[in-house]
Each structure stands twice: as structure tokens, then as C-alpha cells.
Amino acid sequence: MDEFPVLSSFAVFFLGLIIGSFLNVVICRLPDGGSILKPASRCPSCLVPIRWYDNIPLLSWCALRGKCRSCRAPISVRYPLIELMTALLFLAAKLKFGLTPVLMIRELPFLAILIAVTFIDLEHRIIPDELSLGGLVLGLVSTFFLHASLAWPMSVLGALLGFGIFFGLSWAYLRLAGRAGLGGGDVKLLAMIGAFLGPAGVFATVLISSVSGSLVGLGWAWWARRHGISLEGPSDQPSELEDQAAAAADTNLLAAAIPYGPFLVIGAIYYHLLGDFLWFQFTIPT
Ligand SMILES: [Zn+2]
């Protein structure tokens, strides 16, 4: 099927740019409940419709030097970055899985959903059900009907495990800490990841996300304390007790400041594209 691998790699890269441009619209409009398809893109500052030649992925942003043509309001660098990121991840998936129906129907949509989830969670602290539950259905159905690398019973098992692990953790956390730590969105996201990656993928995702999440969390807490960001405010005479209070406040602030979804996505994408390079091998059959 893939007789011109260089040409098809370029094609998948450009497909990634276009889908990335579409994901920018999804990320902006889905949390507000707006229509994805209408109206046409407008500048958020002056509401002038964006012309087609100013809407070309990556190139238009560079040509306009990140400013609206009409009102010169800055356009976030996030837009071209998401386009480039989508294109590079699509290319990586094509190189790993080859140009197959499974790539087009299953692996690329999986990556696109994960990218949208990441940026919506970072900005709004929610993971829309359209993405997590829609992805869960796509993962289960596509594994059942396509010759994916995963057998369909493993897809079902992965989804149940993903749902079970986080549901159990968030229930235990609520009982012990008296407040919700992990969102229901994270539970549904891990169930979706399980449907695509199976039980081994769920374990790898939880492991990688908790390690990377802890490292970023510790770094953030250190940075916040250095810069005096604290729920309690700065105290005049620090004592051991006040240090502990400040540390507890940091933990609270941390839970509010850092969503967990993006770390699950990092774990899932790492396992999905670079699973062969894990430093340990999972012996669970996939
Ligand atoms: Zn404008």
C-alpha cells in the first residue's frame, strides 16, 4: 500500500497540519458549547472574519508575524504550535504503524483526541465527554472491526481497568482527604486510553503520568514558594509549624493549579509511539 514512503510521509505531515488547525477550533469552541463548524473563524479581538489565505496552517501565522491583519491584535503562538505538534505526532505514528486503514481510522484520531484533551484541560480544567467517551467508543469499536495491534478483549479489559484504577483512587482520596483530588474527567480519559492501548498501556500510562506529574508538581511548588505564591500569604517569622502550613497550602494550590489530564496524555502518547523503548517490559499479553 505504501509504495512511495517519502511522499506518503509528507502527505501525513500535511494532514496533521490541517487536523491541527481544526483542533484549534475544537479547543476554542467545544468547552463553550459552541458549534464546531459554524460560524467561520473570526479574529477574537475585532471579530473580522479570517480570510482563507490568512488561515493556512503554520504559514499564515508566520507571514502575519503573529498579528491580526485587520486590528494587529496578537494571535497566540499556541495556534501554530498545536498545528506543528499534531503534524509531528501524525508523522511519528505513520512511521511506526505504516500507511494502513488502522492508522487513518484508529491511531491518528486517537492522537488528535489526546491533543484536544490536553489543551482544553490546561485552559478550562475540564475534559469534555464528547472527547473522552466518544474516544472510548471509537477505541472499542475500531479494535473490534480492524486488525489493530490489540485484540478486542484486551481493549475491553483496558477500558475496564482504566476506569477501575482511577475510580478506586478518586474514591479512596475522597474518603481519606475529604475532597475530590482526581476529576471524573480523568477517569473517563484513562478508560478511553485503556480501550486504545490495553491493560499494559494503562499501567504504563499511570506510571509515566504519576512520575512526570510529581516532578512537575514539585518543581511548581518550589517555584511558587520562591516567588511567594501561597494561599496563606507571606509570614513574618517562619517557624516549623508555619512551614508545614505553607506546605499544606502549596499542596492545595498545586491541586488547583495543575490538571492531571495532560500528564495522562504524555504517558499514553509515550507508550503508544515509543512503547518499544520502555526500560522495562510488560509481560501482559496484548
Ligand atoms: Zn483582529
Q: 284: pLDDT confidence band, cut at 50, 70 and 90? A: very low
Model pLDDT for residues 170-193, shown as the tens digit of each residue: 788 778 777 666 677 899 999 999
User: What's 100's DSSP letter?
Assistant: S
The beta-carbon contacts of 69-73 under 8 Å, at least 24 apart in sequence, are 70/43, 70/46, 71/43, 71/45, 71/46, 73/43, 73/44, 73/45, 73/46
Ligand 1 center from residue 74 Cα (angstroms)? 8
Q: Which residues is 49 bridged to in the sheet?
A: 42
Distance 111 CA to ligand 1 centre (A): 31
Q: What is the pLDDT of residue 41?
A: 82
**If you measure from the C-alpha of residue 80 to the centroid of ligand 1, how many angstroms do you get, rounded to a whole number?**
17
Average pLDDT of the chain, as a whole number = 85
pLDDT given for residue 40 in this prediction: 77
As a whole number of angstroms, the distance between CA 196 and CA 202 comes to 9
Say whether pLDDT at 73 is over 50.
yes
What's the 236 CA to ligand 1 centre distance in angstroms? 47
Check whether 251 has a pLDDT greater than 80. Answer: no
Most confident residue range from 3-7, 46-50, 189-193: 189-193
Among residues 190, 188, 179, which one has the least CA distance to residue 251?
179
Mean pLDDT over 247-251 rounds to 54
The three cell numbers locating residue 180: 475530590
pLDDT, average across residues 209-220: 89
Query: Residue with C-alpha cell 502527505?
Result: 11
Question: Pick from 7, 233, 240, 266: which is nearest to 117 by CA?
Answer: 266
Residue 42 CA, ligand 1 centroid: distance in Å = 8
169-205 CB burial, b ≥16 within 10 A, e <16: bbeeeeeeeeeeebbebbbbbbbbbbbbbbbbbbbbb
Calculate how far, in angstroms, residue 73's C-alpha sits from the geometric centre of ligand 1: 6
- C-alpha triplet 186, 24, 108: angle, nearest 5°: 65
* pLDDT, tens digit, 9 for 90 and up, residues 86-121: 999 999 999 999 999 999 999 999 999 999 999 999
Report how far ligand 1's centroid is from the alpha carbon of 61 (Å): 13
